[in-house]
Amino acid sequence: MIVRLTGGLSPPAFVDTPPFRCPAMIPALLLAAFALHAAPPAATWPQWRGPTRDGLVAAGSPAWPNTLGEANFKKQWSVPDLGPSYSGPIVSATLVYTTQTVDKKTEVVTAYDRATGKFRWKQEWSGAMTVPFFAAKNGSWIRATPALDGDRLYVPGIQDLLVCLNANTGEVLWKYDFVKELATAVPAFGFVCSPLVDDTSVYVQAGGHFCKLDKLKGTLTWKTLKNADAMNGSAFSCPVMGTIAGKKQLVVQTRESLAGVDIDTGKELWMRKIPTFRGMNILTPVIQGDRVFTSTYGGTTQAFGVQAKGDTFSTRDGWSFKYEGYMTTPVVVGEYAYWFGKDRKAICANITTGKEAWRSEKSYGDYWNLVANGDRILALDSKGKLLLLNANPKEFELLGEVNVSKAETWAHLAVAGDDVCIRDLNSLTCFKWK
Protein backbone atom coordinates (compact mmCIF):
# COMPACT_ATOMS: atom_id res chain seq x y z
CA MET A 1 0.00 0.00 0.00
CA ILE A 2 1.33 3.46 -0.91
CA VAL A 3 0.53 6.05 1.78
CA ARG A 4 1.11 9.71 0.99
CA LEU A 5 1.23 12.16 3.88
CA THR A 6 0.19 15.69 2.94
CA GLY A 7 -1.22 18.70 4.75
CA GLY A 8 1.88 20.81 5.09
CA LEU A 9 4.64 18.15 5.32
CA SER A 10 7.63 19.09 3.20
CA PRO A 11 8.82 17.12 1.33
CA PRO A 12 5.87 14.66 1.04
CA ALA A 13 6.66 11.30 2.63
CA PHE A 14 6.00 8.03 0.77
CA VAL A 15 5.82 4.76 2.71
CA ASP A 16 5.61 1.40 0.91
CA THR A 17 4.17 -1.12 3.36
CA PRO A 18 1.42 -3.72 3.40
CA PRO A 19 -1.76 -2.79 5.25
CA PHE A 20 -1.23 -2.37 9.04
CA ARG A 21 2.37 -3.61 8.74
CA CYS A 22 3.51 -0.47 10.60
CA PRO A 23 1.06 0.21 13.47
CA ALA A 24 3.31 2.91 14.93
CA MET A 25 2.40 5.11 11.99
CA ILE A 26 -1.35 5.03 12.67
CA PRO A 27 -1.37 7.80 15.34
CA ALA A 28 0.72 10.03 13.07
CA LEU A 29 -1.67 9.41 10.17
CA LEU A 30 -4.66 10.23 12.37
CA LEU A 31 -2.96 13.41 13.61
CA ALA A 32 -2.21 14.52 10.05
CA ALA A 33 -5.81 13.84 9.01
CA PHE A 34 -7.08 15.83 11.98
CA ALA A 35 -4.82 18.76 11.10
CA LEU A 36 -6.29 18.83 7.60
CA HIS A 37 -9.78 19.24 9.05
CA ALA A 38 -8.98 21.40 12.10
CA ALA A 39 -11.19 24.38 12.79
CA PRO A 40 -9.94 27.70 11.39
CA PRO A 41 -8.40 30.19 13.84
CA ALA A 42 -10.92 32.15 15.89
CA ALA A 43 -11.85 35.55 14.50
CA THR A 44 -10.36 38.48 16.42
CA TRP A 45 -10.85 42.23 16.87
CA PRO A 46 -7.28 43.48 17.30
CA GLN A 47 -7.58 47.27 17.00
CA TRP A 48 -9.74 50.37 16.65
CA ARG A 49 -12.49 49.60 14.09
CA GLY A 50 -11.48 45.98 13.63
CA PRO A 51 -9.12 43.76 11.65
CA THR A 52 -8.88 46.06 8.62
CA ARG A 53 -9.47 49.32 10.55
CA ASP A 54 -12.57 50.15 8.50
CA GLY A 55 -15.40 48.93 10.72
CA LEU A 56 -15.83 45.70 8.75
CA VAL A 57 -15.81 42.24 10.35
CA ALA A 58 -13.15 39.71 9.38
CA ALA A 59 -13.57 37.96 6.03
CA GLY A 60 -15.45 34.68 6.40
CA SER A 61 -17.39 35.81 9.48
CA PRO A 62 -20.84 34.23 9.87
CA ALA A 63 -23.71 36.24 8.41
CA TRP A 64 -25.90 38.15 10.82
CA PRO A 65 -29.62 37.38 10.99
CA ASN A 66 -32.42 39.57 9.66
CA THR A 67 -33.59 40.54 13.14
CA LEU A 68 -32.07 41.53 16.47
CA GLY A 69 -33.74 40.68 19.75
CA GLU A 70 -33.50 38.72 22.97
CA ALA A 71 -34.25 35.46 21.14
CA ASN A 72 -31.13 35.57 18.96
CA PHE A 73 -28.75 37.81 20.92
CA LYS A 74 -27.71 36.33 24.28
CA LYS A 75 -25.51 37.61 27.08
CA GLN A 76 -22.66 35.16 27.73
CA TRP A 77 -20.88 36.87 30.60
CA SER A 78 -20.34 40.26 32.19
CA VAL A 79 -17.68 41.88 34.38
CA PRO A 80 -19.32 44.59 36.55
CA ASP A 81 -17.95 47.40 38.72
CA LEU A 82 -15.14 48.50 36.44
CA GLY A 83 -13.70 52.00 36.46
CA PRO A 84 -14.78 54.27 33.59
CA SER A 85 -13.24 54.01 30.12
CA TYR A 86 -13.88 55.01 26.52
CA SER A 87 -11.48 52.38 25.13
CA GLY A 88 -13.12 49.79 22.93
CA PRO A 89 -12.51 46.15 23.94
CA ILE A 90 -9.82 44.20 22.11
CA VAL A 91 -10.45 40.51 21.34
CA SER A 92 -7.80 37.86 20.70
CA ALA A 93 -8.41 34.19 19.98
CA THR A 94 -8.63 33.47 23.73
CA LEU A 95 -8.78 36.78 25.65
CA VAL A 96 -10.72 40.04 25.85
CA TYR A 97 -8.84 43.15 27.00
CA THR A 98 -10.26 46.33 28.48
CA THR A 99 -8.95 49.46 30.20
CA GLN A 100 -10.20 51.54 33.11
CA THR A 101 -9.32 54.55 35.24
CA VAL A 102 -9.53 53.71 38.95
CA ASP A 103 -10.02 56.28 41.73
CA LYS A 104 -9.09 59.11 39.34
CA LYS A 105 -5.41 58.24 39.70
CA THR A 106 -4.56 54.84 38.20
CA GLU A 107 -4.93 53.32 34.73
CA VAL A 108 -5.54 49.58 34.61
CA VAL A 109 -5.50 47.07 31.75
CA THR A 110 -7.24 43.75 32.41
CA ALA A 111 -7.49 40.53 30.40
CA TYR A 112 -10.44 38.12 30.68
CA ASP A 113 -11.05 34.68 29.25
CA ARG A 114 -13.00 35.11 26.02
CA ALA A 115 -15.22 32.07 26.58
CA THR A 116 -16.04 32.54 30.28
CA GLY A 117 -15.14 36.09 31.32
CA LYS A 118 -12.84 34.81 34.05
CA PHE A 119 -10.02 37.11 35.15
CA ARG A 120 -6.59 36.28 33.66
CA TRP A 121 -4.25 39.20 34.45
CA LYS A 122 -4.03 42.94 35.03
CA GLN A 123 -1.42 45.67 34.77
CA GLU A 124 -1.55 49.24 36.08
CA TRP A 125 0.35 52.53 36.27
CA SER A 126 -0.24 56.02 37.63
CA GLY A 127 -2.17 58.16 35.20
CA ALA A 128 -5.11 60.53 35.41
CA MET A 129 -6.05 64.12 34.54
CA THR A 130 -9.00 66.48 34.41
CA VAL A 131 -10.25 67.58 30.99
CA PRO A 132 -11.44 71.19 30.43
CA PHE A 133 -14.78 72.19 31.96
CA PHE A 134 -16.55 72.40 28.59
CA ALA A 135 -15.69 68.75 27.94
CA ALA A 136 -16.26 67.55 31.50
CA LYS A 137 -19.42 65.66 30.61
CA ASN A 138 -17.28 63.42 28.41
CA GLY A 139 -15.21 62.33 31.37
CA SER A 140 -11.64 62.45 32.66
CA TRP A 141 -10.62 58.88 32.04
CA ILE A 142 -8.67 56.72 29.61
CA ARG A 143 -9.90 57.23 26.06
CA ALA A 144 -7.99 55.62 23.21
CA THR A 145 -8.44 51.97 22.16
CA PRO A 146 -5.37 49.69 22.45
CA ALA A 147 -3.94 47.69 19.56
CA LEU A 148 -3.04 43.98 19.64
CA ASP A 149 -0.18 42.74 17.48
CA GLY A 150 0.70 39.08 18.01
CA ASP A 151 1.83 38.76 21.62
CA ARG A 152 2.07 42.51 22.21
CA LEU A 153 -0.62 44.93 23.35
CA TYR A 154 -0.09 48.68 22.83
CA VAL A 155 -2.05 50.80 25.30
CA PRO A 156 -2.32 54.64 25.20
CA GLY A 157 -2.49 56.21 28.66
CA ILE A 158 -4.37 59.49 28.97
CA GLN A 159 -1.25 61.52 29.93
CA ASP A 160 0.37 60.95 26.52
CA LEU A 161 1.98 57.68 27.58
CA LEU A 162 2.22 54.64 25.30
CA VAL A 163 2.71 51.31 27.10
CA CYS A 164 3.64 48.02 25.42
CA LEU A 165 2.54 44.90 27.31
CA ASN A 166 3.02 41.19 26.85
CA ALA A 167 -0.49 40.25 25.73
CA ASN A 168 -0.32 36.85 27.43
CA THR A 169 0.95 37.90 30.85
CA GLY A 170 0.53 41.69 31.15
CA GLU A 171 4.27 42.23 31.68
CA VAL A 172 5.39 45.76 30.76
CA LEU A 173 7.85 45.52 27.84
CA TRP A 174 8.41 49.26 27.35
CA LYS A 175 6.89 52.69 27.92
CA TYR A 176 7.23 55.84 25.86
CA ASP A 177 6.39 59.09 27.65
CA PHE A 178 5.72 61.68 24.91
CA VAL A 179 5.53 64.56 27.40
CA LYS A 180 8.97 63.77 28.77
CA GLU A 181 10.68 62.71 25.56
CA LEU A 182 9.33 65.48 23.31
CA ALA A 183 9.14 68.20 26.00
CA THR A 184 5.44 68.88 25.41
CA ALA A 185 2.50 69.57 27.70
CA VAL A 186 -0.06 66.94 28.64
CA PRO A 187 -2.82 67.40 26.02
CA ALA A 188 -5.95 69.08 27.37
CA PHE A 189 -8.20 66.22 26.25
CA GLY A 190 -5.68 63.44 26.88
CA PHE A 191 -4.26 60.81 24.57
CA VAL A 192 -7.19 60.12 22.22
CA CYS A 193 -5.60 58.58 19.10
CA SER A 194 -5.77 54.77 18.84
CA PRO A 195 -2.48 53.20 17.63
CA LEU A 196 -1.90 51.74 14.16
CA VAL A 197 0.63 48.87 14.01
CA ASP A 198 2.39 47.40 10.95
CA ASP A 199 5.25 44.91 10.51
CA THR A 200 7.86 47.05 12.26
CA SER A 201 6.27 50.10 13.82
CA VAL A 202 3.45 51.73 15.77
CA TYR A 203 1.94 55.06 14.68
CA VAL A 204 0.06 57.55 16.88
CA GLN A 205 -0.83 61.22 17.21
CA ALA A 206 0.80 62.19 20.50
CA GLY A 207 3.30 64.66 21.84
CA GLY A 208 1.90 67.37 19.58
CA HIS A 209 2.98 65.42 16.47
CA PHE A 210 2.22 62.40 14.35
CA CYS A 211 4.83 59.86 15.47
CA LYS A 212 6.34 56.56 14.37
CA LEU A 213 7.96 54.29 16.97
CA ASP A 214 9.80 51.00 16.70
CA LYS A 215 7.23 48.51 17.95
CA LEU A 216 9.76 46.19 19.58
CA LYS A 217 12.11 48.74 21.18
CA GLY A 218 9.74 51.63 21.88
CA THR A 219 12.11 54.19 20.35
CA LEU A 220 11.07 57.15 18.21
CA THR A 221 11.74 56.72 14.48
CA TRP A 222 10.34 60.07 13.28
CA LYS A 223 7.83 62.76 14.13
CA THR A 224 5.96 65.03 11.74
CA LEU A 225 2.87 67.26 11.38
CA LYS A 226 3.62 69.40 14.42
CA ASN A 227 0.47 70.69 16.06
CA ALA A 228 0.36 74.47 16.34
CA ASP A 229 -2.16 74.39 19.20
CA ALA A 230 0.14 73.73 22.14
CA MET A 231 -2.60 74.18 24.74
CA ASN A 232 -4.96 71.53 23.43
CA GLY A 233 -2.24 69.15 22.27
CA SER A 234 -2.56 66.27 19.83
CA ALA A 235 -5.53 65.48 17.63
CA PHE A 236 -8.37 63.03 18.15
CA SER A 237 -8.41 61.25 14.81
CA CYS A 238 -6.68 57.90 14.25
CA PRO A 239 -4.28 57.21 11.34
CA VAL A 240 -5.01 54.76 8.54
CA MET A 241 -2.81 53.23 5.86
CA GLY A 242 -3.64 52.66 2.21
CA THR A 243 -2.53 53.03 -1.39
CA ILE A 244 -3.50 56.35 -2.95
CA ALA A 245 -2.40 57.57 -6.38
CA GLY A 246 -0.19 54.49 -6.69
CA LYS A 247 1.72 54.95 -3.41
CA LYS A 248 1.21 53.20 -0.10
CA GLN A 249 1.06 55.89 2.57
CA LEU A 250 -0.30 56.95 5.93
CA VAL A 251 -3.32 59.24 6.06
CA VAL A 252 -3.84 61.23 9.23
CA GLN A 253 -6.22 64.01 10.22
CA THR A 254 -4.77 66.58 12.59
CA ARG A 255 -6.67 69.30 14.43
CA GLU A 256 -6.42 71.56 11.37
CA SER A 257 -5.71 69.47 8.29
CA LEU A 258 -5.60 66.08 6.64
CA ALA A 259 -2.34 64.79 5.15
CA GLY A 260 -0.64 61.92 3.40
CA VAL A 261 2.65 60.88 4.99
CA ASP A 262 5.50 58.77 3.64
CA ILE A 263 5.74 55.60 5.74
CA ASP A 264 9.55 55.37 5.76
CA THR A 265 10.58 59.00 6.17
CA GLY A 266 7.61 60.81 7.69
CA LYS A 267 7.72 63.27 4.79
CA GLU A 268 4.48 65.10 4.13
CA LEU A 269 3.27 64.01 0.67
CA TRP A 270 0.19 66.22 0.47
CA MET A 271 -1.98 68.28 2.80
CA ARG A 272 -5.50 69.61 2.82
CA LYS A 273 -6.82 72.15 5.31
CA ILE A 274 -9.94 70.87 7.12
CA PRO A 275 -11.75 73.77 8.82
CA THR A 276 -13.58 72.80 11.99
CA PHE A 277 -14.77 74.24 15.30
CA ARG A 278 -12.00 74.39 17.94
CA GLY A 279 -9.93 71.83 16.06
CA MET A 280 -12.55 69.14 16.58
CA ASN A 281 -11.44 66.91 13.73
CA ILE A 282 -12.49 63.63 15.30
CA LEU A 283 -13.39 61.21 12.51
CA THR A 284 -10.89 58.69 11.24
CA PRO A 285 -10.49 59.44 7.50
CA VAL A 286 -11.85 56.92 5.01
CA ILE A 287 -9.84 55.96 1.92
CA GLN A 288 -11.75 54.91 -1.19
CA GLY A 289 -9.45 54.40 -4.17
CA ASP A 290 -7.78 57.75 -4.80
CA ARG A 291 -10.38 59.62 -2.75
CA VAL A 292 -10.30 60.56 0.93
CA PHE A 293 -13.50 61.13 2.89
CA THR A 294 -13.96 63.15 6.07
CA SER A 295 -16.61 65.06 7.99
CA THR A 296 -16.12 67.59 10.76
CA TYR A 297 -17.71 69.29 13.75
CA GLY A 298 -18.70 72.78 12.65
CA GLY A 299 -17.61 72.13 9.08
CA THR A 300 -18.69 70.02 6.13
CA THR A 301 -18.78 66.47 4.84
CA GLN A 302 -16.42 66.13 1.91
CA ALA A 303 -14.35 63.85 -0.30
CA PHE A 304 -11.42 65.02 -2.37
CA GLY A 305 -9.08 63.35 -4.81
CA VAL A 306 -5.33 62.81 -4.55
CA GLN A 307 -3.17 62.64 -7.68
CA ALA A 308 0.51 62.20 -8.39
CA LYS A 309 2.85 63.44 -11.08
CA GLY A 310 6.13 61.67 -10.57
CA ASP A 311 6.99 62.07 -6.89
CA THR A 312 4.80 65.14 -6.46
CA PHE A 313 1.34 64.74 -4.96
CA SER A 314 -1.55 67.19 -4.99
CA THR A 315 -5.22 67.24 -4.06
CA ARG A 316 -8.20 68.21 -6.18
CA ASP A 317 -11.68 69.27 -5.18
CA GLY A 318 -14.26 66.53 -5.10
CA TRP A 319 -17.70 66.85 -3.57
CA SER A 320 -18.97 68.36 -0.34
CA PHE A 321 -22.20 69.19 1.40
CA LYS A 322 -23.12 70.98 4.59
CA TYR A 323 -23.35 68.24 7.19
CA GLU A 324 -21.49 67.83 10.49
CA GLY A 325 -20.36 64.23 10.87
CA TYR A 326 -18.79 65.06 14.24
CA MET A 327 -17.50 61.84 15.88
CA THR A 328 -18.88 58.76 14.06
CA THR A 329 -16.52 57.35 11.43
CA PRO A 330 -18.54 55.87 8.53
CA VAL A 331 -18.72 52.30 7.35
CA VAL A 332 -18.78 51.87 3.58
CA VAL A 333 -20.96 49.20 2.00
CA GLY A 334 -20.80 49.10 -1.78
CA GLU A 335 -20.99 52.66 -3.12
CA TYR A 336 -22.53 54.11 0.02
CA ALA A 337 -21.22 55.48 3.30
CA TYR A 338 -23.33 55.15 6.45
CA TRP A 339 -22.63 57.26 9.51
CA PHE A 340 -24.13 59.46 12.23
CA GLY A 341 -24.04 63.21 12.62
CA LYS A 342 -24.08 66.03 15.12
CA ASP A 343 -27.85 66.31 14.52
CA ARG A 344 -28.06 62.82 16.13
CA LYS A 345 -29.49 61.27 12.99
CA ALA A 346 -28.20 58.45 10.81
CA ILE A 347 -27.26 59.40 7.27
CA CYS A 348 -26.39 57.62 4.02
CA ALA A 349 -24.62 59.16 1.03
CA ASN A 350 -23.11 57.94 -2.22
CA ILE A 351 -19.38 58.06 -1.55
CA THR A 352 -18.58 58.58 -5.25
CA THR A 353 -20.92 61.48 -5.95
CA GLY A 354 -21.61 62.89 -2.50
CA LYS A 355 -25.34 62.76 -3.09
CA GLU A 356 -27.28 62.27 0.13
CA ALA A 357 -29.46 59.15 -0.11
CA TRP A 358 -31.42 59.54 3.12
CA ARG A 359 -31.36 60.79 6.68
CA SER A 360 -33.26 59.11 9.52
CA GLU A 361 -36.36 60.91 10.77
CA LYS A 362 -35.73 59.85 14.36
CA SER A 363 -32.96 61.29 16.52
CA TYR A 364 -30.91 59.05 18.80
CA GLY A 365 -28.10 59.57 21.34
CA ASP A 366 -25.00 61.74 21.00
CA TYR A 367 -22.86 59.13 19.27
CA TRP A 368 -22.97 55.89 17.30
CA ASN A 369 -20.17 53.50 16.51
CA LEU A 370 -20.69 51.21 13.55
CA VAL A 371 -19.64 47.73 12.40
CA ALA A 372 -20.73 46.25 9.06
CA ASN A 373 -21.03 42.64 7.90
CA GLY A 374 -22.19 42.32 4.30
CA ASP A 375 -25.44 44.28 4.04
CA ARG A 376 -25.98 44.40 7.82
CA ILE A 377 -24.80 47.16 10.15
CA LEU A 378 -24.62 47.10 13.95
CA ALA A 379 -24.88 50.55 15.53
CA LEU A 380 -24.10 51.04 19.22
CA ASP A 381 -25.86 54.17 20.48
CA SER A 382 -24.27 56.09 23.35
CA LYS A 383 -27.47 55.59 25.39
CA GLY A 384 -26.87 51.84 25.74
CA LYS A 385 -28.92 50.59 22.82
CA LEU A 386 -27.69 48.31 20.02
CA LEU A 387 -29.42 48.57 16.65
CA LEU A 388 -29.33 46.33 13.58
CA LEU A 389 -29.72 48.13 10.25
CA ASN A 390 -30.07 46.95 6.70
CA ALA A 391 -27.49 48.69 4.53
CA ASN A 392 -30.18 49.95 2.20
CA PRO A 393 -29.33 53.09 0.18
CA LYS A 394 -33.01 53.65 -0.59
CA GLU A 395 -34.22 54.21 2.99
CA PHE A 396 -33.34 54.01 6.67
CA GLU A 397 -34.26 50.43 7.55
CA LEU A 398 -34.14 49.36 11.20
CA LEU A 399 -34.30 45.57 11.59
CA GLY A 400 -34.21 45.37 15.36
CA GLU A 401 -32.79 46.79 18.57
CA VAL A 402 -31.91 45.64 22.09
CA ASN A 403 -30.92 47.41 25.28
CA VAL A 404 -27.41 46.28 26.18
CA SER A 405 -26.59 48.65 29.05
CA LYS A 406 -28.12 51.07 31.52
CA ALA A 407 -24.90 53.06 31.47
CA GLU A 408 -23.52 55.14 28.61
CA THR A 409 -21.79 53.24 25.80
CA TRP A 410 -19.20 55.43 24.10
CA ALA A 411 -16.53 52.77 23.54
CA HIS A 412 -16.36 51.16 20.11
CA LEU A 413 -17.91 47.70 20.11
CA ALA A 414 -15.86 44.64 19.07
CA VAL A 415 -17.28 41.87 16.88
CA ALA A 416 -15.25 38.67 16.50
CA GLY A 417 -17.00 35.69 14.94
CA ASP A 418 -20.36 35.45 16.69
CA ASP A 419 -19.07 37.25 19.82
CA VAL A 420 -20.05 40.89 20.37
CA CYS A 421 -18.13 42.61 23.19
CA ILE A 422 -19.47 45.88 24.60
CA ARG A 423 -17.74 48.16 27.09
CA ASP A 424 -20.01 50.62 28.85
CA LEU A 425 -18.76 53.09 31.45
CA ASN A 426 -19.07 50.57 34.28
CA SER A 427 -18.77 47.06 32.86
CA LEU A 428 -17.61 44.73 30.07
CA THR A 429 -20.17 42.35 28.57
CA CYS A 430 -19.86 39.64 25.93
CA PHE A 431 -22.97 38.77 23.88
CA LYS A 432 -23.30 36.05 21.29
CA TRP A 433 -25.41 35.71 18.16
CA LYS A 434 -27.66 32.67 18.27
Residue 14 is predicted with a pLDDT of: 31
DSSP 277: G
CA distances from 80 to 61, 144, 283, 419, 425 (A): 29, 21, 30, 18, 10
DSSP 26: H
What are the residues whose beta carbons fall under 8 Å from the beta carbon of 312, sequence distance 6 or more?
none
The whole-chain average pLDDT of the chain stands at: 89
Q: Is the pLDDT of residue 33 over 60?
A: no
Residue 131 is predicted with a pLDDT of: 82
By CB neighbour count within 10 A (0-12 exposed, 13-18 middle, 19+ buried), where does 105 fall?
exposed
Tens of pLDDT, residues 315-361: 999 999 999 888 999 999 999 999 999 999 999 999 999 999 999 99
User: Which of 329, 387, 341, 365 has the alpha carbon at shortest distance from 68?
Assistant: 387
Q: E strand or H helix at 301, and its extent?
A: strand 301-309
Q: Is the pLDDT of residue 409 over 80?
A: yes
Residue 420, SS3?
strand
Give the span between the Cα atoms of 174 and 179, in whole angstroms: 16
Q: CATH 2.130.10.10 region(s) of the chain?
A: 39-433
DSSP 21: S
Q: Provide Rg for the chain, Cα atoms.
A: 23
Residue 19 is predicted with a pLDDT of: 39
Q: Is the peptide bond before 11 cis (omega within 30 degrees of 0)?
A: yes
Contact 331, 299 (CB under 8 A): no
Torsion of CA 344, 388, 329, 340, to 10 degrees: -20
By CB neighbour count within 10 A (0-12 exposed, 13-18 middle, 19+ buried), where does 280 fall?
buried
- Which homologous superfamily does the CATH classification assign to the domain defined by 39-433? YVTN repeat-like/Quinoprotein amine dehydrogenase (2.130.10.10)
Residue 7 is predicted with a pLDDT of: 38
The region of weakest confidence among 1-15, 19-33, 101-115, 419-433 is: 1-15
Give 34's pLDDT tier (boundaries 50, 70, 90): very low
Average pLDDT over residues 164-174: 98
Give 136's pLDDT tier (boundaries 50, 70, 90): low
Average pLDDT over residues 276-293: 89
Give the span between the Cα atoms of 51 and 157, in whole angstroms: 22
DSSP 361-414: SS---S-EEEEEETTEEEEEETTTEEEEEE--TTS-EEEEEEE--SS---SPPE
CA-CA-CA-CA torsion sign (148, 149, 151, 157): negative
Residue 244 is predicted with a pLDDT of: 98
Tens of pLDDT, residues 44-102: 999 999 999 999 999 889 999 999 998 999 999 999 999 999 999 999 999 999 999 99
Residue 428 is predicted with a pLDDT of: 98
Give 22's pLDDT tier (boundaries 50, 70, 90): very low
Average pLDDT over residues 299-317: 95
User: Where are the strands (E) in 158-300, listed by range?
Assistant: 161-166, 172-177, 196-197, 201-206, 209-214, 220-224, 240-244, 247-253, 257-261, 268-273, 286-288, 291-295
